[in-house]
Amino acid sequence: MDKTHLDKFYKKNHAERMKALIAADILTSDDLLLTDALHLTDELADNMIENHLANYELPLGAALNFLVDGKEYVVPMAIEEPSVIAAASAGAKIIAQAGGFKTTISDRTMIGQVALKDIPDLTVAKSNLVQHKKAILKKANDAHPSIVARGGGATDLFVRFIEADNEAATPEFLVVHLHVSTLEAMGANIINTMLEGITAYLEELTGGTALMSILSNYATECLASAVCQIPVDLLKKNDYTGEEVRDRLIEASQLAYVDPYRAVTHNKGIMNGIDAVVLASGNDWRAISAGAHAYASHSGQYRSLSVWKKADNGDLIGQLTLPLPVGSVGGSISIHPAAQFSKRLMGYQSAKELEAVIVSVGLAQNFSALKALVTEGIQKGHMGLQARSLAISAGASGNAIEKVAEQLKQSKNMNLATAKALLQEILT
């Protein structure tokens, strides 16, 4: 990557940005022809979902400055919210100056559940399951031999009792967890096929009745962590010293740790970045969001997913961990042209590498949001694009968008009525 071509990327127009990415050796000239062909065809969309009517589009932008485990990335983000891409890029720039993100990606083990009820004898059922573990794993693997041939497959089995809860009037359940290595795939379909392949056998072994068989999106065996360490001289902002920004940012992190009302918003900010990359990469962002928010409660209380602390030498240290069971193949990744474009833009080679980039985006997003919140507030950054959106809502087009937006930013009431009045003035 030759980064010099990406200078002032945000000031370029659409065509100039594509040319810069080609000049920087990130895309090829084929991609220039392809961007118009990134739309889903009716035929493809009709085969992806039921009752297809039209395609609902989102803008796809590029976040810059990501240095993850020593490699530079341009990161695609599909999102409708203004300022998210700018904030991710700004956060990543400071973190790159501080050495970039270091990530740790766990083994990619996914979890499937078979829930059984009406078990005549729980002790006997558990003992039978443990005794026949090898046979159960073999049946699971026989149900999806191609993942085994690729080097993955079912690896382990765990049994959980869920006691009856008289207050909530729920019966007891015996839940069998199947651990599966799904390699480069997120694995929902692989696991569901395996689970359905073992359900009857589990009923036989336990004497119970299966209620359901489905993967769990609480992917606690597929975790991604990113860490960054930022010297205070990179943190100065307006009248705040670097030390003040560091300390206020740590306090913001502490507030999100203890207060669920704040933690949800803190984590929503992290997911602004994560969901946008997950979506751009063609992965299932509902699965990632559900798992992330559940993981935020793993201590028993809903808390912040990230932690910011002071290092012994006075630097600011940030750390983010969450489940990230994304795939580099499967689902719509291989068929959606925009997901394939995202893959070329990011240049990732494996699902683990994609996880490393995504968790880093979450941490950069969080850093930028907290830094803005504890200094000038987030509205200042938001208002530029918000003004443009208001100008467009008021009916502005072409050059009038910029003119209305500029005047709106100076006006006392930045709202639709003001935008309409300003547009009227400009047009008359």
Q: Which residue has the tokens 């042209």?
A: 337
Query: In Å, what is the CA distance from 354 to each residue of 54, 159, 226, 269, 359?
Result: 30, 32, 12, 20, 9
Position among 275, 284, 315, 355 found at the interface with ligand NDP (CB under 6 A): 284
Segment near ligand NDP (CB under 6 A), from 59-67, 198-206, 218-226, 322-330?
322-330
Q: Is 217 in the site for ligand NDP (CB under 6 A)?
A: yes
Q: Which residues contact 385 (CB under 8 A, 6 or more apart)?
A: 82, 83, 86
x-marked contacts with ligand NDP along 239-278 as a string, rule CB under 6 A = ----------------------------------------
Encode 157-196 in three state secondary structure.
Answer: EEEEEECCECCCCECCEEEEEEEEECCCECCHHHHHHHHH
- The answer to whether the beta carbons of residues 366 and 269 sit under 8 Å apart is yes
Output 326 or 364, the one with its CB closest to ligand NDP: 326
Q: Output 49 or 54, the one with its CB closest to ligand NDP.
A: 49
Interaction of residue 362 with ligand NDP, rule CB under 6 A: no
Query: Smaller CB distance to ligand NDP: residue 114 or 186?
Result: 186
Residue 204: CB minimum distance to ligand NDP, A: 26
Cβ contact 108:182 at 8 Å: yes
Contact window for ligand NDP (CB under 6 A) among 133-141, 161-169, 177-185, 223-231 = 177-185
Residue 112 makes contact with ligand NDP by CB under 6 A: no
Binding mask 142-161 for ligand NDP (x = CB under 6 A): ----xx--x-----------
User: Residues in contact with ligand NDP, total (CB under 6 A)?
Assistant: 20
Q: What is the rounded CA–CA span in Å between residue 128 and residue 125?
A: 5
Phi then psi for residue 361, to 5 deg, are: -60, -40
Is 346 a binding residue for ligand NDP by CB under 6 A? The answer is no
Judged by CB under 6 A, does residue 335 bind ligand NDP?
no
Phi, psi of 187 (to 5 degrees): 95, 5
Which CB, 48 or 416, lies closer to ligand NDP?
Answer: 48
- Taking CA 136 as the corner, what is the angle to CA 151 and CA 153, rounded to the nearest 5 degrees? 15
Cα separation, 64 vs 74, whole angstroms: 5
Enumerate the active-site residues: 81, 268, 284, 382
Does 212 participate in binding ligand NDP (rule CB under 6 A)?
no
Rounded to 5 degrees, what are φ and ψ at 284?
-85, 95
Q: Which residues of 276-292 are buried (b: 16+ CB within 10 A; e: fewer)?
A: bbbbbbbbbbebbbbbb
Least distance between ligand NDP and beta carbon 330 (Å): 3
Nearest approach in angstroms of CB 113 to ligand NDP is 11
330 scored as a contact of ligand NDP (CB under 6 A): yes
DSSP 193-259: HHHHHHHHHHHHHHS-EEEEEEE-S--TTSEEEEEEEE-GGGT-BTTB-HHHHHHHHHHHHHHHHH-
- Provide the minimum distance between the beta carbon of 352 and ligand NDP in the complex, in angstroms, as a whole number: 12
Q: Which helix (H) or strand (E) holds 112?
A: strand 109-117
Pick the closer one to ligand NDP by CB: 180 or 245: 180
Distance CA(117)–CA(162), nearest Å, equals: 10
CB of 335 or CB of 417, closer to ligand NDP: 335
Of the pair 287, 370, the CB lying nearest ligand NDP is at 287
Distance of closest approach, residue 328 Cβ to ligand NDP, in angstroms = 8
Q: Is 226 in the site for ligand NDP (CB under 6 A)?
A: no
Its sign, for the CA torsion 390, 395, 398, 402, is negative
Does residue 178 belong to the site contacting ligand NDP (CB under 6 A)?
no
Instruction: Determine contact, residues 249/374, Cβ cutoff 8 Å.
Output: yes
Q: In angstroms, give the least distance from the CB of 332 to ligand NDP.
A: 6
Show contacts with ligand NDP in window 179-198 (CB under 6 A).
Answer: 182-190
CA dihedral 405, 409, 412, 413 (to 10 degrees): 50
The least CB distance from residue 286 to ligand NDP, in Å, is: 7
Q: State which amino acid sits at residue 388.
A: R
- Judged by CB under 6 A, the stretch of 131-139, 160-168, 308-316, 324-332 that binds ligand NDP is 324-332
Give yes or no for residue 114 binding ligand NDP (CB under 6 A): no
Residues that bind ligand NDP (CB under 6 A): 146-147, 150, 182-190, 215, 217, 284, 287, 327, 329-331
